[in-house]
Amino acid sequence: MYAIAGHRLLALSRPRTDTWSGIRMRIGPFSFAWLPLVLFLSIAVAFVLGRKVARRDPDIDKALLWTLAAGFGVARVWFVLRYLPAYKGHVISVLDIRDLGFDAFPGLIAGACVALWFVLHVKGIRRAMVVALVSGAVAWSAASAAVASRGGPDLMPAISLADMSGRLQPLKSADGEPTVINLWATWCPPCQAEMPVLAAAQADNPHLHLIFVNQGETQASIEGYLASHGLQIKNVLLDSRLDLAKAVDAAGYPTTLFYDGHGRLVATHLGPFSKATFQQALENFYQQASAAP
């Protein structure tokens, strides 16, 4: 759960096609990333059905736990190794999996190998293990397909916001270039955590149109915050009435919107980025816009 926009408390918001952590749902005042919830439910289905078939044999729990540990462990290690320069000087952040930095394919291979070992060597849970894995995969596939099928591509809202000089600026893509819009506020801890990451990304990717849309704060407050934290960012807009947050149905802050050069929504990410996960997002959505290693 991240900092929640207090102007709207909906029972359930429509998910969007997105990255691993970005598709979100909202229940009351709480925001959740959608795909991790789907994963959790898929794992729960696997455990429940596996234990039922194995008649609560503790070996099935051990087998499934080792499978999960291998999958998540390898997925995290592979991701860290792939983006190792992003962790330079921040070694402890390697253990901080809240950024959801995982490489799924190597993790799946590792988990499959461990699962296969148990299937071949622990005869008593062989059938239960197969049922657990198949049911978990079916639950994941069905839920993911349901999420991905809802809604079409969204366009960038046709609104204008004041810049730091007080001039109204239309929200639009810059000459057909990809545009990333970050909704943030100075009082929001996750926003504070990711702001240095995005400031550095803006400096390192001059061809990427990155816009910082502050939510409901005064120009003086924003300038004071940026100065006190030594942050130098461009393209700061003021959304004093939260017009953009309402238009995109933002569930909380920070929310980062990825648009292509035609102003079509590519992805929505709820929550803070680490340097590695933002670099991964740029590679996934804008191959040509990713920073050189």
SS3 128: helix
Q: Are both 102 and 131 inside the same structural domain? A: yes
Model pLDDT, residue 148: 62
Structural domain includes residue 57: yes
Q: How confident is the model at residue 133 (pLDDT cuts 50, 70, 90)?
A: very high
Model pLDDT, residue 195: 94
| CB 21, CB 36: distance < 8 Å | yes
Structural domain includes residue 134: yes
Q: Are both 121 and 190 inside the same structural domain? A: no
Structural domain includes residue 107: yes
Q: How confident is the model at residue 291 (pLDDT cuts 50, 70, 90)?
A: very low
Q: Are both 64 and 107 inside the same structural domain? A: yes
pTM above threshold 0.75:
no
- Minimum mean pLDDT among 23-32, 66-75, 99-108: which range? 23-32
Q: Are both 109 and 170 inside the same structural domain? A: no
Count of the separate structural domains present in the chain: 2
| CB 273, CB 80: distance < 8 Å | no
Judged against a pLDDT cut of 50, whether residue 242 lies above it is answered with: yes
Q: Are both 176 and 245 inside the same structural domain? A: yes
Model pLDDT, residue 147: 62
Computed over every residue of the chain, the mean pLDDT equals 81
Q: Are both 247 and 277 inside the same structural domain? A: yes
Q: How far apart are CA 113 and CA 115, in angstroms?
A: 5
Q: Which residue has the higher pLDDT, 10 or 178?
A: 178
Structural domain includes residue 233: yes
Q: How confident is the model at residue 255 (pLDDT cuts 50, 70, 90)?
A: very high
| CB 75, CB 81: distance < 8 Å | no
Q: How far apart are CA 168 and CA 179, in angstroms?
A: 18
Q: Of 126, 148, 170, which residue sits at a domain end?
A: 148
Model pLDDT, residue 153: 57
Model pLDDT, residue 262: 85
Model pLDDT, residue 28: 40
Q: Are both 52 and 106 inside the same structural domain? A: yes
Q: Which residue has the higher pLDDT, 218 or 8?
A: 218
Q: Are both 191 and 254 inside the same structural domain? A: yes
Q: How confident is the model at residue 82 (pLDDT cuts 50, 70, 90)?
A: confident
Structural domain includes residue 12: no
Judged against a pLDDT cut of 50, whether residue 6 lies above it is answered with: no
**CATH number of the domain to which 200 belongs:** 3.40.30.10
Q: Are both 223 and 100 inside the same structural domain? A: no
Model pLDDT, residue 227: 94
Q: Are both 136 and 203 inside the same structural domain? A: no
Judged against a pLDDT cut of 50, whether residue 27 lies above it is answered with: no
State the CB neighbour count (10 A cutoff) for residue 105.
Answer: 10
Q: Are both 270 and 221 inside the same structural domain? A: yes
Closest Cα partner for 166 from 240, 248, 257? 240
Q: How far apart are CA 116 and CA 84, in angstroms?
A: 30
Runs of H (alpha helix) within the chain:
34-53, 58-82, 104-121, 126-148, 189-204, 219-228, 243-247, 275-285
Q: How confident is the model at residue 10 (pLDDT cuts 50, 70, 90)?
A: very low
Structural domain includes residue 2: no
Structural domain includes residue 177: yes
Q: Is 1 exposed, middle or buried (0-12, 13-18, 19+ CB in 10 A)?
A: middle
Q: Are both 139 and 250 inside the same structural domain? A: no
CA dihedral 154, 242, 254, 209 (to 10 degrees): 60
Domain that holds residue 170: 154-289
Q: Of 148, 165, 184, which residue sits at a domain end?
A: 148
Q: Of 109, 131, 148, which residue sits at a domain end?
A: 148
Closest Cα partner for 113 from 175, 69, 77, 76? 69
Q: Which residue has the higher pLDDT, 145 or 43?
A: 43
Judged against a pLDDT cut of 70, whether residue 14 lies above it is answered with: no
Judged against a pLDDT cut of 70, whether residue 166 lies above it is answered with: yes
Structural domain includes residue 9: no
